[in-house]
Structure 1
C-alpha cells in the first residue's frame, strides 16, 4: 500500500480514505497480503486529475461509476439536458388518411407517400399518420393549393434538407473549432460544463438569426434579378414588335 501511495503521489492515509469511499476497487488478497496493480495506480491518477479540475470526491465517484457501467458522463456533468434539447420548435400533427387527403387531394399517391416517409415528414402510427411539423405541413398544403405539385414540393424539401444539414455542419464545426476546442480533449470540469451549456444556448438564436437574415437577403437578390430579367425581356419584345411594324 505504501508503494502504491508513493507512486500515486498521495499519503497512505489518503489511499485508505479513497478505498473506504470505494473510489478504487478492493485489492486482490492472498492471506493477509493485499496486492495492488497498475489498474489501481491508473485509477488514483484519474482521481487526482479530476480533483485538480475542480471535481468533488462525490462527483468523481459518480463519474467513475458511469465509466464502469457505460452511463453517459455528459448526463452527470449536466450537459445532457442542454445538448439534447431540440433546437426545433415543431409541433407534430396527427392525421387520418382522410385528413391527409383533404390537405393534398389527388396528390396523395403511393409515390408521394413513399417520398414523405423517406424524408421523415410522415410516420405511420397505427391507422393514422403523424406529420413531424405543423409549419411544414401548412407550407406544403399552401403550395399545393396554389398549384405546385406535391412531388415538386417534396423534391424541394429534399434539397432544402441537404442545405440545412450542411449549415448545421458549418455551425457545429465553428463551435467545436473556435469555442470549445480547449475542452474537447478531456472530461470537462463543472465550470467548463456550465460554459459549454451557455455557449450552446447562445448559439441557438444566433445561428437561426444568421440563416434567416441570409435567406431573406438571398431571396431579395433573386427576386430583383428575376424581375429585371422579365422586364428586360418585355422591353426587348416590345422593341422587336415595334421594328416589325415599321
Structure 2
C-alpha cells in the first residue's frame, strides 16, 4: 500500500458511508483486498476506499457480490469494463483528477463577495493544498455556481444560495441517516449469515434514496414556481 491516508476498518466504514459488518462481508466474498497489517491492526488506503465505493455502485445496479468479484477481477486484468459500467478504478495522474489554483487568483475570483475565499472553502467548493495553493474539491458545484453566474445571478447571491442548499441537504441527509440507523439496527440483529448479501444490497440502495427523493421534490416545486413566473410574465 502506497504512503498516504490510512484508515482502520471503523474509519474506512465511516469514510465510505457503510458499516464494518459490510466491509467484513466484502472481505469474505473476495471483493475487498486485505489491509496492510501493522502490529495487530489492519490499515486501509485510498485504493480500498475507491473499491468500497465501486462495490456500492455495482450493488445499486443489482449485481450480486459473486458477479462483482468477477467484474473486478476483469478490471484488474485490464479489460475495458470501466467505460461500460462507469466504475473504473484506474488512478489517473493527480493533475488530471483535480484542478489547482493559486490562493491569490482564487481570492481575486471571489473578491466581490464578502469573505469570498473563506466562504467557498467552507462551502466545500475548494480546499487548501498549502498556504499558496488551492484545489477544486467539488467540480460539480463549482460548475453549477459558474452556470448560475452565467444566467446573470450575482455571484454573492448564487454562492449564498449554494450555502443555504448545503445546510438544507445536510439536514435532510441526517434525518434519513437517523431513520435508516434505527431500522437497520433491528435488521442487523435479525439477519442471519445467509441474509448478509441481501442486507448489504439493501444498505447500498438506501444510500441513494435520499438524494433521489430530494431531487424529485426540488425539481417538482421548481417547475411549479417557474411556471407561475412564466404565467405572470404573460400578463399584459
Q: TM-score, structure 2 length as denominator? A: 0.52
Residues 122 and 105 of structure 1: is their aligned pair in 2 closer, same or farther, counting only changes over 3 Å?
closer
- Higher Cα Rg, which structure: 1
Residue 78 (structure 1) aligns with: 25
What is the number of residues matched between the two proteins?
159
Q: Is 1:114–2:118 an aligned residue pair?
A: yes
Q: Is 1:208–2:211 an aligned residue pair?
A: yes
2:115 match: secondary structure: helix
More helix by share: 1
- Shift of residue 134 of structure 1? 1.5
Residues 151 and 167 of structure 1: is their aligned pair in 2 closer, same or farther, counting only changes over 3 Å?
same
CA distance in 2, matches of 1:173, 1:140: 30
Unaligned runs of 5+ in 2: 1-7, 11-18, 33-48, 58-85, 87-95
**Which of 111, 123, 147 is the matching residue for 1:142?**
147
The correspondence of residues 81-230 of structure 1 with structure 2, limited to 5 A, is 85=53, 93-97=98-102, 105=109, 107=111, 111-126=115-130, 127-178=132-183, 180-183=184-187, 186=189, 189-230=192-233
Deviation readout 1:68-125 (Å, 9 max, x if unpaired): xx9649266337979x749899x963222289559x8464667110111222221110
Q: TM-score, structure 1 length as denominator? A: 0.50
- Shift of residue 222 of structure 1? 0.9
Q: Is the contact made by 1:95 and 1:129 (CA closer than 8 Å) also made in structure 2?
A: yes
1:96 match: secondary structure: strand
CA distance in 2, matches of 1:74, 1:147: 47
Unaligned runs of 5+ in 1: 1-69, 236-246
Q: Is the contact made by 1:107 and 1:150 (CA closer than 8 Å) also made in structure 2?
A: no
